[in-house]
């Protein structure tokens, strides 16, 4: 089977990580997979080498361009780049985001693709008209939808009346690799003799980064050697207001707290793996997620997790068994969990052991098999209703 996968970016965001891992797993199943993406800021390749064919369509920034205009140009640029590709060779066209979905919708109207599928990782609360329109079309126009959690399957059914197939994320095998020497790894990153809290996903509203920052300031009162590492690049979308608020909060903290907050940007894949392994606690008290890929990776690495009580996390996490689940609206609750998880060694060991075992249930090989079964039904059943 020949499969085209489409994602919006080349950076290590959740949807991109998902796309590349899925592409490689399906390649190992004997499929011919090609991954398409927009290359923002002159980027010509993905953040890591991939075991699949790739095509990155360049996108150049324009000085003074409004955000709304840029979103429209994302779609136009992606569509124009794809029009030059021999898309008719593919049996399946599968998109992972609203930008890709709108581009494929235009190509379908032009007769370049017969149908396309979309994975909905989550829906955002956009206010920018261009993004509201982009997201709405992206869940209405695909022939079939996939979701990564039962929560979002129910949301799509209740909110827009569309059925979807639930296929969970997998966890890359490399994250299960045991850490040879945690102390040496900390020393490598200038974190020797520190209690390290790690969070991944950048600085944005749904990751709850500002409350994590406030919680860390509380943690420092009882754990003076604590360090917070925040990694992950910016999303495609415009959360500049939130970033500004974050830095205002950061600059208002005591110097002793501020000096122990490390913003790591977009580390490469090996560095992210190192951070998981050296961390004493992975922190992600999100207010919204599609599933929780980073949490699963941290669990695979044996790192104790502080997550939030949102419904999607409770699909695979049990409080005080796989993780500590804190109230995401209460930085005091987050801080208390962050403190407890490193001070209670017995609890930390239990969460590490149980989390690693739970993560073994999720593989990209299984995800690939479920995708391929859906693809085959789509082709054999003439597409319509194949995902119901």
| Exposure of 279 in the CB half-sphere (CA atoms within 13 A) | 32
Q: Please state, for a pLDDT cut of 90, what percent of the chain lies above it.
A: 82
Helix (H) / strand (E) element for 339: namely helix 331-343
| Exposure of 157 in the CB half-sphere (CA atoms within 13 A) | 14
* CATH number 3.40.50.300 is the correct assignment for the domain at 173-359: no
Q: Break the chain into its structural domains and give their ranges.
A: 2-170+363-380, 173-359
Q: How far apart are CA 353 and CA 98, in angstroms?
A: 38
CB 268 within 8 A of CB 174: no
Q: How far apart are CA 283 and CA 281, in angstroms?
A: 6
What is the distance, to the nearest Å, from the Cα of residue 28 to the centroid of all Cα atoms in its chain? Answer: 23
Domains 2-170+363-380 and 173-359 share a fold: yes
Q: How far apart are CA 28 and CA 32, in angstroms?
A: 9
Burial of residue 78, with CB atoms counted within 10 A of its CB: 0-12 exposed, 13-18 middle, 19 or more buried: buried
Q: Look at domain 2-170+363-380 and name its CATH class.
A: alpha beta
| Beta strand residue intervals within the chain, DSSP E | 2-6, 32-40, 53-59, 92-95, 117-120, 144-147, 165-166, 195-200, 226-231, 261-265, 281-283, 305-308, 324-326
pLDDT at 42: 78
pLDDT tens by residue, the chain, 388 residues: 999 999 989 988 889 999 999 999 999 999 999 999 999 877 899 999 999 999 999 998 888 888 889 889 999 999 999 999 999 999 999 999 999 999 999 999 999 999 999 999 999 877 778 888 888 999 999 999 999 999 999 999 999 999 999 999 999 999 999 888 999 999 999 999 999 999 999 898 999 999 999 999 999 999 999 999 999 865 555 677 888 999 999 999 999 999 999 999 888 889 999 999 999 999 999 999 999 999 999 999 999 999 999 999 999 999 999 999 999 999 999 999 999 999 999 999 999 999 999 999 999 999 999 999 999 999 987 654 444 4
Whole-prediction pTM: 0.92
Sign of CA dihedral 13, 352, 284, 261: negative
């Amino acid at each position: 089977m020949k499969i085209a996968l489409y994602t919006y970016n080349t950076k290590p965001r959740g949807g991109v990580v998902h796309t590349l891992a899925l592409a490689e797993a399906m390649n190992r199943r004997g499929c011919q997979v090609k991954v398409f993406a927009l290359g923002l800021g002159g980027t010509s390749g993905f953040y890591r080498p991939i075991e699949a064919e790739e095509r990155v369509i360049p996108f150049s920034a324009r000085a003074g361009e409004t955000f709304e205009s840029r979103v429209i140009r994302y779609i136009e640029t992606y569509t124009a780049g794809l029009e030059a590709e021999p898309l008719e060779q593919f049996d399946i066209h599968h998109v992972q985001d609203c930008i890709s979905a709108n581009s494929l919708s235009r190509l379908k109207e032009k007769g370049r693709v017969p149908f396309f599928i979309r994975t909905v990782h989550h829906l955002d609360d956009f206010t920018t008209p261009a993004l509201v329109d982009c997201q709405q079309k992206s869940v209405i126009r695909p022939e079939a939808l996939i979701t990564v959690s039962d929560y979002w399957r129910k949301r799509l059914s209740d909110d827009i009346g569309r059925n979807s197939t639930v296929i969970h994320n997998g966890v890359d095998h490399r994250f299960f690799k045991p850490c040879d020497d945690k102390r040496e790894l900390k020393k490598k990153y200038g974190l020797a003799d520190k209690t390290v809290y790690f969070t991944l996903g950048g600085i944005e509203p749904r990751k709850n980064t500002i409350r994590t920052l406030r919680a860390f300031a509380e943690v420092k009162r009882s754990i003076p050697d604590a360090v917070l590492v925040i990694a992950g690049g910016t999303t495609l979308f415009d959360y500049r207001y939130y970033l500004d608020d974050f830095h205002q909060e950061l600059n208002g903290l005591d110097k002793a707290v501020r000096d122990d907050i490390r913003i790591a940007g977009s580390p490469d894949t090996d560095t992210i793996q190192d951070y998981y392994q050296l961390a004493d606690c992975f922190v992600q008290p999100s207010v919204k997620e599609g599933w929780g890929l980073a949490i699963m990776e941290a669990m695979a690495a044996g790192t104790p997790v502080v997550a939030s009580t949102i419904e999607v996390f409770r699909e695979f996490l049990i409080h005080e068994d796989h993780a500590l689940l804190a109230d995401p609206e209460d930085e005091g609750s987050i801080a208390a969990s962050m403190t407890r998880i490193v001070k209670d060694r017995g609890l930390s060991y239990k969460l590490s052991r149980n989390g690693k075992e739970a993560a073994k249930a999720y593989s990209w090989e299984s995800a690939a098999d479920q995708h391929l079964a859906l693809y085959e039904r789509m082709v054999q059943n003439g597409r319509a209703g194949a995902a119901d």
